[in-house]
Chains A and B, each alone.
Chain A
Amino acid sequence: MNPFDYARAADPAEAVRLAGARPNTKFLGGGTNLVDLMRETIETPDSLVDVTGLSRRIEVLADGGILIGAAARNTAVAADPAVRKRFPMLARAILAGASAQIRNMATVGGNIMQRTRCCYFYDDAARCNKRVPGAGCDAVGGFNRMHAILGASPACVATHPSDLCVALAALDAVVHVEGPTGGRTLRFIDFHRLPGDRPDIETALAADELITAVELPPLSAAARSTYRKVRDRSSYAFALVSVAAALDVAADGTVGTVRLALGGVAHKPWRAAKAEAALHGAPATEASFRAAAEAELMDAVGLPGNAFKIELAKRTIVATLAGLVRGERS
């Protein structure tokens, strides 16, 4: 790990000011991703600004939405009674991630900004366009079980590893950020980028911008929502495929509101807009779910190590939606 300066920010303005004061500064949340990457010298910041002292409030808004401070710990969000009641998929997504110890450390801001677990990204002996733009991508011809089947580019086939973010994508979350010139908000689904030819640029956030909060707009259908994660061991493993889903079935048995997002399949948490469109007004049956899943995965491209995820994603979508119809909680 390279040496670095450390400072602790008392408020967002100070955090932004401290970050602007020196080049090559990074914000530090729980450190569960950043410290690991610094130890591997994949990240080499010269200074860290600790933002764990910023707001960690979880606040129910007047409109029924929830505002979550970026420093809120993952565990605190999952345990929050309002989150559990109104947005169970978010609680379940968080609880499906990492381990209890890591969830106790990890912040919401850090979880959103965590980097891919692509094993070639982690190994500086490998070629990786994300680490060294233009170097090439060893994952395409190598181990790519954990890699993308949607929205990838020849330059990079990595996935975003977060579970929490899949729920945020499904829930139309809004990201509040603060920069040197003031605050702004971004739609969560626009926050992360697809790799294109610049996989090193992962989000719409500028280097000196800070995430201050995440807002969940009200969504009554989310009270009946869940998160299903499929992985290589029963716990403490990243997703091969995951599905965040909320579903409202009208009295006539057709789909009312539906929200669907996928994890483990793309460079960003993947909002399944095509599937949602196919489902609107369709009968809430397995046949409709399958058709919607087919529509979503139509453009999926498999690599030798991960082609199975195309069918796996379809099946998991169908099973998750069907479970919601049956009233299953997970």
Chain B
Amino acid sequence: MRFIINGQSVERALDARTSLLDLLRDHLHLTGTKKGCNQGACGACTVLVEGERINACLALAVQYQERPITTIEGLGEEVALHPLQRAFIEHDGFQCGYCTPGQICSAVGMMAEAGRGVPSAVTADLDGDSVDLTHDELRERMSGNLCRCGAHNGIIEAIQAAMAPAPAQAAPVKEDAR
């Protein structure tokens, strides 16, 4: 079976039972994509397939042959981070970091969805063709990614900062305390 992961083609002989998540983690050692539940219930395994976010744990790898897959490793490296990754650091959008790759991939997919005008459960006007990513919209659209550490505020702030016209690294730090 041939897979296209982060722009690279890889071939593996796989058990049909292997999930896309286990392919990434166990077979390709791309462990940035996390396993939080293996039940489709946490979003830690979020990856992008043709730019759309999915839960890799419920995806059988056989179904995803020959389709471009992007994981957190493909978004940016430690030394050359994606603006969203930088914003997560700046706004403390994580604590333990386990849900983080999924949150970031999900946010990338979410922004693309909104760009295409895909509505959400809190979109007031279904007839509109553009989406205004309000605080409620962001929170609803990111609700498929659980975070038990409680980094929710920082995650939403980071996404807002990355969406803002100014580059994320220049975004002002919100005065937190005191």
| A touches B (Cβ under 8 A) | yes
- Spell out B's residues near A (CB within 8 Å): 15-17, 19, 38-41, 43, 46, 52-55, 58-60, 62-63, 106, 109-110, 113, 116-127, 129, 139-141, 143-145
Q: Is A232 an interface residue (CB 8 A)?
A: no
Evaluate contact between A78 and B118: CB separation under 8 angstroms: yes
A43-64 vs B, CB cutoff 8 Å, 1 = contact: the mask equals 0000010101000000000000
State in angstroms the CA–CA spacing of A35 and B16 once bound together. 11
Instruction: Please tell me if the beta carbons of B106 and A101 are within 8 angstroms of each other in the complex.
Output: yes
Tell me whether A85 and B127 are in contact (CB under 8 A): yes
Q: Which A residues lie at the B interface, using CB under 8 A?
A: 1, 3-6, 28, 30-32, 35-36, 39, 48, 50, 52, 75, 78-79, 81, 84-85, 88, 91-92, 95-96, 98-102, 104-105, 234-236, 329-330
B contacts with A: majority SS: loop
Of all chain B residues, the one with the shortest Cβ separation from A96 is B121
Report whether B53 and A100 are in contact in the complex, using a CB–CB cutoff of 8 Å: yes
Chain A contacts for B63, CB-based, 8 A: 28, 31, 50, 52
State the Cβ distance, B130 to closest chain A Cβ, in Å.
Answer: 13
A36 to B16, CA, bound (A): 15
Which residue of B55, B60, B122 contacts A101 across the interface (Cβ within 8 Å)?
B55
What separation, in Å, do the CA atoms of A62 and B164 have in the docked complex?
Answer: 44
B126 and A102 contact, CB distance less than 8 A: no
What are 26 A-B contacts defined by CB distance under 8 Å? A3-B16, A28-B60, A32-B40, A32-B58, A35-B58, A35-B59, A36-B40, A36-B58, A48-B60, A75-B52, A78-B119, A79-B116, A84-B127, A85-B126, A85-B127, A98-B144, A99-B40, A101-B55, A101-B106, A104-B52, A104-B109, A105-B58, A105-B59, A234-B143, A236-B143, A330-B124
Whether the Cβ atoms of B109 and A100 lie closer than 8 Å is yes
Min CB distance B112 to A, Å, is: 11
Tell me which residues across on chain B come within 8 A of A102, comparing CB atoms.
40, 55, 58, 144
Say yes or no: A92-B126 contact (C-beta < 8 A), given A99-B144, A101-B46, A101-B144: yes
**Chain A positions within 8 Å of B43 at CB level:** 99, 101
Question: Given A91-B126, A236-B144, A105–B121 Cβ distance below 8 Å?
Answer: no
**Residue in A31, A35, A96, A101 whose beta carbon sits within 8 Å of that of B53 in the complex:** A101
Q: Is there contact, CB below 8 Å, between B144 and A100?
A: yes
Q: Is the CB of A79 within 8 A of B40?
A: no
Q: What are the residues of chain A within 8 A of B117 when measuring CB–CB?
A: 79
- Max chain A C-beta neighbours (<10 A), residue from B16, B122, B126, B139: B126
* Closest residue on chain B to residue A102 by CB atoms: B40
C-alpha gap A235/B46 in the complex (Å): 18
A2 (CB) vs chain B CBs: closest residue: B17
A329 engages B125 (CB within 8 Å): yes
Give chain A residues whose Cβ lies under 8 Å from the Cβ of B121: 92, 95-96, 235
Inter-chain contacts of A99 with B (CB < 8 A)? 40, 43, 55, 143-145
Residue of B nearest to A4 (CB): B16
The answer, among B54, B60, B109, B123, for a CB contact under 8 Å with A35, is B60
Complex formed: what's the CA distance from A84 to B116 in Å?
14
Give the docked Cα–Cα distance between A39 and B37 (Å).
12
Q: Report the bound CA distance from A231 to B171 in whole Å.
A: 37
Q: Name which residue of chain B comes closest to A88, CB basis.
A: B126
In the complex formed, the residue of B with least CB distance to A89 is: B126
Query: From residue B83, how far is it (CB to closest CB) to chain A in Å?
Result: 21
Contact A79 B118 (CB under 8 A): yes
